[in-house]
């Protein structure tokens, strides 16, 4: 059996990383390699441009730079595709972490000569998505790889369904927001697609537009959501007519997100934990002293990382290593509510923020951080949020996750915090309620955030009490059901 997992993001490569979806695809790939079952083929575009932030002349500027092909990518194929009158060269790179049964391929062409999701207008978006679908079809056909199952992530990959009508197709929805269920004008689609292809899409026509999310909902064997809450919202509000074939597989994270400090402790105290994550329940048996000592090592490494970033002007702001750090790291955008974290600055903590500003809310946030840092507040903004940054920031004391509850499909940053003994303070957004119990392995704040500061104070009280802190850390670390092993078992049931 051949499974194809298609996505416009895959965080295995920096230029193909944007947010949670890319991390999820990467994590799924990394962990599925351990299962010697079906052949799994992960396919994503390789973007030729990447956004980079710089701190110049007391200003944060974002520049678009050329992306250099990484050494971990090997050129394995090259061919041409035809879109209307245009002939397009395509190169296919295989990631060096691929195994015999689990492959990660990245397709590069002039269609992807921009940052991920950085096309700029609808017609260019259509071309990017169609080019990816057509190039994927050509690569698979050329190599005699006919997918039995197509896992199509977001409506961005919908055009692939045009080329593999006899495969079992699953529509993996990752957000209730409109950008995961894209609509395009038929006139714009006709610039790229054939009239026959447009006719096939007509089942999802709404006025003069085609909704690609609805198209996938119509033709797929199932709609797979990424949390129980997301499932309820999808079947009640987004695709109620397809409730009968809507289900959910709650997101998870790779073991790779567990900090090296904890891995070393587990190797000594819980031999074989990597092969049986359920054994992480034995964390409760490790002494409080060892737990606190390991977490303090993490925090020390985090503090050194922040200090080095500030020194190299890769971060700006003020930092006091004698005070606990509360971390907010994700895209800076309206529905994730980054500005509310600023209310915690008078608690005597370090507030460390990272993430690209996506909209006006994000841009205002970075401007406010600059102003506050100039007046002496303990606030730091780390530039160029990526996987390496995330791995280091996860070593802090508290992790803040405060999006509007119904607008976050799952969220995985709080899961990564749990697996590092970093206390999550979070709304009940997405999958949070499936894993976090208030006061046990984190703190749940109301959706209106009125008790955010109260919960932040409770976490601060624990910082001065090693026994309570150790207990909370153990509760976090033993929440092993957030790991991707569970996700893969559920994926394998999709036939």
Polymer length of the chain: 495
Helices 288-311 and 466-477: angle between axes, nearest 10 degrees: 80
Nearest residue to 133 via CA among 57, 220, 9, 43: 43
Tokens for 294?
A: 């390991």
Its pTM surpasses 0.75 = yes
Nearest residue to 129 via CA among 114, 144, 146: 114
Per the CB < 8 A criterion, the answer to whether 103 and 42 are in contact is yes
Q: Which residue has the tokens 């999550």?
A: 424
Per the CB < 8 A criterion, the answer to whether 362 and 333 are in contact is yes
For the segment(s) 255-482, the CATH number from 3.30.300.130, 3.40.50.720, 3.40.50.2000, 3.20.19.10 is 3.40.50.2000
How far apart CA 399 and CA 426 sit, in angstroms, is: 8
CB-based contacts of 444: which residues, under 8 Å, 6+ apart?
A: 426, 427, 428, 432, 433, 436, 438, 455
The CA-based dihedral angle spanning residues 297, 298, 300, 306, taken in that order and rounded to the nearest 10 degrees: 170
Can 2-253+487-491 and 255-482 be said to share one CATH topology?
Answer: yes
Question: For residue 402, what pLDDT is reported?
Answer: 98
* CATH class entry, domain 2-253+487-491: alpha beta
Tokens for 307?
A: 């200090």
CA angle (200 as vertex; 195, 203 as ends), nearest 5: 125
Give the three-state DSSP class for 50.
Answer: strand
Identify the helix (H) or strand (E) that includes residue 97: none
How far apart CA 449 and CA 95 sit, in angstroms, is: 42
How far apart CA 54 and CA 100 sit, in angstroms, is: 40
Name beta bridge partners: 443: 425
The DSSP code sequence of 215-240 is: HHHHHSSEEEESSHHHHHHIIIII-G
Per-residue confidence in pLDDT tens, the chain, 495 aa: 999 999 999 999 999 999 899 999 999 999 999 988 889 999 999 999 999 999 998 899 999 999 999 999 999 999 999 999 999 999 999 999 999 999 999 999 999 999 999 998 999 999 999 999 999 999 999 999 999 999 999 999 999 999 999 899 999 999 999 999 999 999 999 999 999 999 999 999 999 999 999 999 999 999 999 999 999 999 999 999 999 999 999 999 999 999 999 999 999 999 999 999 999 999 999 999 999 999 999 999 999 999 999 999 999 999 999 999 999 999 999 999 999 999 999 999 999 999 999 999 999 999 999 999 999 999 999 999 999 999 999 999 999 999 999 999 999 999 999 999 999 999 999 999 999 999 999 999 999 999 999 999 999 999 989 999 999 999 999 999 999 999 999 999 999
What are the extents of the domains in the chain?
2-253+487-491, 255-482
Question: For residue 251, what pLDDT is reported?
Answer: 98
Per the CB < 8 A criterion, the answer to whether 352 and 394 are in contact is no
């Amino acid at each position: 059996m051949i499974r194809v997992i298609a996505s416009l993001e895959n965080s295995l490569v920096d230029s193909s990383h944007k947010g949670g979806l890319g991390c999820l695809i990467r994590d799924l790939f990394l962990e599925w390699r351990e299962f010697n079952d079906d052949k799994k083929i992960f396919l994503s575009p390789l973007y030729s441009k990447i956004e980079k932030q710089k701190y110049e002349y007391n200003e944060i500027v974002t520049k678009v730079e050329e992306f250099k092909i990484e050494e971990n990518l090997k050129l394995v194929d090259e061919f041409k595709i035809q879109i209307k009158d245009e002939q397009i060269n395509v190169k296919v790179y295989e990631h060096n972490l691929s195994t015999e049964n689990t492959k990660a391929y990245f397709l590069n062409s002039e269609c992807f000569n921009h940052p991920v999701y950085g096309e700029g207008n609808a017609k260019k978006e259509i071309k990017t998505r169609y080019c990816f679908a057509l190039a994927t079809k050509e690569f698979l056909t050329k190599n005699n790889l006919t997918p039995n199952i197509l896992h199509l992530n977001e409506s961005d990959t919908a055009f692939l369904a045009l080329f593999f009508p006899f495969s079992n197709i699953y529509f993996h929805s990752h957000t209730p927001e409109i950008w995961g269920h894209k609509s395009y004008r038929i006139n714009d689609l006709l610039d790229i697609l054939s009239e026959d292809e447009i006719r096939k899409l007509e089942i999802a026509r709404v006025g003069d537009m085609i909704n690609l999310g609805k198209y996938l909902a119509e033709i797929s064997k199932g709609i797979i959501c990424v949390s129980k809450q997301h499932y309820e919202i999808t079947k009640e509000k987004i695709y109620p007519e397809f409730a009968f074939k809507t289900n959910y597989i709650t997101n998870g994270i790779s073991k790779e997100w567990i900090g090296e400090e904890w891995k070393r402790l587990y190797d000594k105290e819980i031999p074989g934990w990597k092969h049986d994550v359920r054994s992480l329940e034995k964390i409760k048996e490790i002494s409080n002293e060892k737990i606190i000592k390991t977490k303090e090592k993490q925090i020390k490494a985090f503090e050194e990382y922040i200090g080095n970033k500030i020194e190299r002007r890769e971060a700006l702001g003020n930092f006091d290593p004698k005070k606990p750090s509360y971390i907010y790291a994700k895209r800076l955008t309206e529905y994730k509510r980054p500005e509310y974290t600023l209310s915690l600055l008078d608690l005597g903590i370090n507030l460390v923020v990272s993430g690209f500003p996506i909209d006006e809310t994000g841009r205002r946030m970075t401007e406010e951080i600059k102003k506050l840092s100039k007046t002496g507040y303990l606030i730091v903004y780390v530039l160029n949020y990526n996987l390496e940054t995330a791995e280091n920031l996860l070593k802090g004391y508290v992790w803040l996750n405060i999006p509007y509850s119904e607008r976050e499909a799952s969220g995985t940053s709080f899961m990564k915090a749990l697996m590092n003994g970093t206390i999550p303070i979070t709304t009940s957004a997405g999958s949070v309620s499936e894993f976090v119990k208030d006061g046990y392995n984190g703190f749940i704040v109301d959706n209106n955030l009125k008790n955010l500061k109260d919960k932040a104070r409770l976490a601060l009280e624990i910082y001065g009490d090693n026994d309570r802190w150790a207990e909370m850390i153990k509760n976090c670390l033993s929440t092993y059901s957030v790991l991707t092993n569970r996700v893969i078992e559920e994926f394998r049931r999709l036939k």
